[in-house]
Chains A and B, each alone.
Chain A
């Protein structure tokens, strides 16, 4: 049973479209994250939610909107997709925020914008 699962795993879409990536964790964790790995392999945090409240919001275009309907889910919606949005998006979770709480990652969602 996958601890952090995200769907879809692969997504190819056209510029200008709106798409969502869903994430669910069954670990009972309070904190969830979205990370982005770009073409240069940099893995950078985008957002973090703790108990459904936004606690980290990096400099991300407002076309990206995370939504946390409950502690176990953190979805990522992207409006007006651009070529530069092509990347691997990783969802992750930890028991609590803060040092010492191991972060568990999902398998990634490969987004290609054409």
Chain B
């Protein structure tokens, strides 16, 4: 039972343009959402998070949007840079579960010159 889904396994975007990565979840108990970035042969690194009491959180070039009614979140990267090329994992958790993260399967972003 996949509770966090990233339906696009890959995405290619030109440098300077906007990258939009999408994530859907099914568990209505999730109330905290995160995005992690992963380079090959490295561990995931935390990028940005959002609580369910908000619908938007911004950190520099990265913005996460949360639509609770649709159980959907998205990560916007503007402008995209070649160094952003990586696999992006969406993750969700529920308050009281001791940071038990449920991950999506990732979207590979390729930023081209």
Contact = CB atoms under 8 A, between A and B. Distances in A.
Contact of A97 (B31, B51, B98, B106): B98
B12 to A, nearest CB: 19
Interface in B87-104: 89, 93-101, 103
Interface residues of B, number: 25
A113 interface: no
Nearest to B108: A41
A103 interface: yes
Contact of A45 (B32, B44, B101): B101
Nearest to A37: B103
Interface of A: 4, 31, 33, 40-45, 48, 50, 55-56, 90, 92, 94, 97-108
Contact of A90 (B2, B32, B44): B44
A40 B105 contact: yes
Nearest to B42: A107
Given A103-B46, A107-B42, 12 more contacts: A43-B89, A43-B103, A56-B97, A92-B43, A97-B98, A98-B99, A99-B32, A99-B94, A101-B99, A105-B43, A107-B43, A108-B43
Interface string B12-38: 000000000000000000011000100
Nearest to B105: A41
A44 B103 contact: yes
Contact of B98 (A98, A102, A106): A98
B45 interface: yes
Interface of B: 2, 31-32, 36, 41-46, 49, 51, 89, 93-101, 103, 105-106
A1 to B, nearest CB: 15
B41 A107 contact: yes
A92 B97 CA distance: 16
A4 B2 CA distance: 28
Contacts of B100: 45, 48, 56
B93 A106 contact: no
A102 to B, nearest CB: 5
- 3 interchain residue pairs of minimum CB distance: A105-B43, A97-B98, A43-B103
Contact of B31 (A31, A41, A43, A99): A99
